[in-house]
Amino acid sequence: MRDMTTPDRSRVQLPGISSRAYEHPADRSALVAMRSLSGFDSVLKRMSGLFSERRLRLMFLASAVRTTDTQFRSLHDMGRDSAYILDLHRIPEIYVQQDAQVYAMAIGFDEPFIVVSTGLLDLMDEEELRFVIGHETSHILSGHAVYGTMLTILTRLATRVAWIPLGYIGLRVIVAALEEWQRKAEMSADRGGLLSGQDPDAALRALMKLAGGSRLHEMNIEAFLDQAREYDTGGDVRDGLLKVLNLLGTTHPFAVTRVAELDRWRRSGEYEAILAGNYPRRADDAHAKITEEVKAAANSYRESWAQSQDPFIGVLRDVAEGAVNAGERIFNKFARRES
């Protein structure tokens, strides 16, 4: 068995790769729909009011350390590598912020940048960090920073109108849908991070460390995948309901889910196909059809439900299938009107 801390292949560039190559179908359908709306990004920027990319960048410029050839050079090189592999025309700036909490994030509209905490730097080895930087670079390529802002705005608004019952309920439904989208967006970025780092073991290790910390010698990826299977299959209908309730208010999937989903995607053959050059190109993004992406998202959910052994999912499957079919009919009607 090879050393799990050593990459076993040289990394290859993916010229002109579209983010559609790695996006989860549910994420991709939402993004294609939003990108097709003329001026949507401009509307979001106006809605963001208190959000100021320039202000945030100045704040990190003043209070964090910007990576360069002379500061955190290894991390700086990873940023350049990720931009090269994913064929970004602009290399995002990376800032290191002193914080024991473990996190990394992509911020901004016009010139997004990446922020990494010292807690994360202390937790990850070099190849795991490469996956994390690739993950954040993938968020930028997909435009998640722009669309995720809508979730932040609506969440704040829902808090302010909590005293209006019907208004609050309506907003909470929208926010819950956006949270589900953002959880899928995180899975998309995990795939993009794997494509950037091109070391599957490091990617799975990084996600496992988010759950168990730095003591890698005390953990085992196969045992962690067994946890994921137990989480999916264990318990009864009550446990299934509790899983759904546990996700309310969250924007990131649980660690076992992320590891299992990324491992499944890698084993599906899509990862190797992309590395071999078989992927959609950015030049064709304008021709992506909303209806086709919605069908792909619906099929993805159907496949997930079919594979799941969760008793609660079994109870809801018929209801959920009806909702998906209704959604497909709505989008088909919309598409016919547009054509």
Band (pLDDT 50/70/90 cuts) for residue 9 is low
Q: Tell me which residue of 261, 94, 127, 268 sits closest to 198, measured CA to CA.
A: 127
H-helix or E-strand spanning residue 55: helix 53-63
pLDDT top residue among 140 and 172:
140
Kindly list the distances between the CA atom of residue 304 and the CA atoms of 15, 150, 206, 239, 310, in Å, as whole numbers in the listed order: 31, 27, 24, 18, 11
312: number of Cβ within 10 Å: 18
**Residue 23: left if φ>0, alpha if ψ -120 to 50, beta else—which one?**
beta
The mean pLDDT value for 150-164 works out to 59
Q: Tell me which residue of 242, 237, 232 sits closest to 307, measured CA to CA.
A: 232
Q: What is the pLDDT of residues 265-321, one digit of tens each?
A: 999 999 999 999 999 999 887 776 666 655 555 555 555 545 555 554 554 455 444
Contacts of 168 (CB under 8 A, 6+ apart): 158, 161, 162
Q: Per-domain residue ranges for the chain?
A: 19-288
90: number of Cβ within 10 Å: 9
Say which amino acid occupies 29.
S
Say which amino acid occupies 1.
M
Q: What are phi and psi of 96, to 5 degrees?
A: -105, 125
Q: Tell me which residue of 41, 119, 58 sits closest to 93, measured CA to CA.
A: 58
Please list, residue by residue across 239-270, b when 16 or more beta carbons sit within 10 angstroms of its beta carbon and e when fewer do.
ebeebeeebeeebebbbbbbbbbbbebbeeeb
Say which amino acid occupies 306.
A
Q: What is the pLDDT of residues 212-267, one digit of tens each?
A: 999 999 999 999 999 998 888 876 667 777 877 787 778 788 999 999 999 999 99
Band (pLDDT 50/70/90 cuts) for residue 171 is low
Does the pLDDT at position 77 exceed 50? Answer: yes
Q: What is the pLDDT of residues 175-202, one digit of tens each?
A: 666 777 788 889 999 999 999 999 999 9
pLDDT top residue among 172 and 98:
98
Contacts of 260 (CB under 8 A, 6+ apart): 225, 228, 229, 232
Q: What is the pLDDT of residues 16-34, one digit of tens each?
A: 999 999 988 767 766 665 5
Q: Which residue has the tokens 């989208």?
A: 181
Report helix, strand or coil for 9.
coil
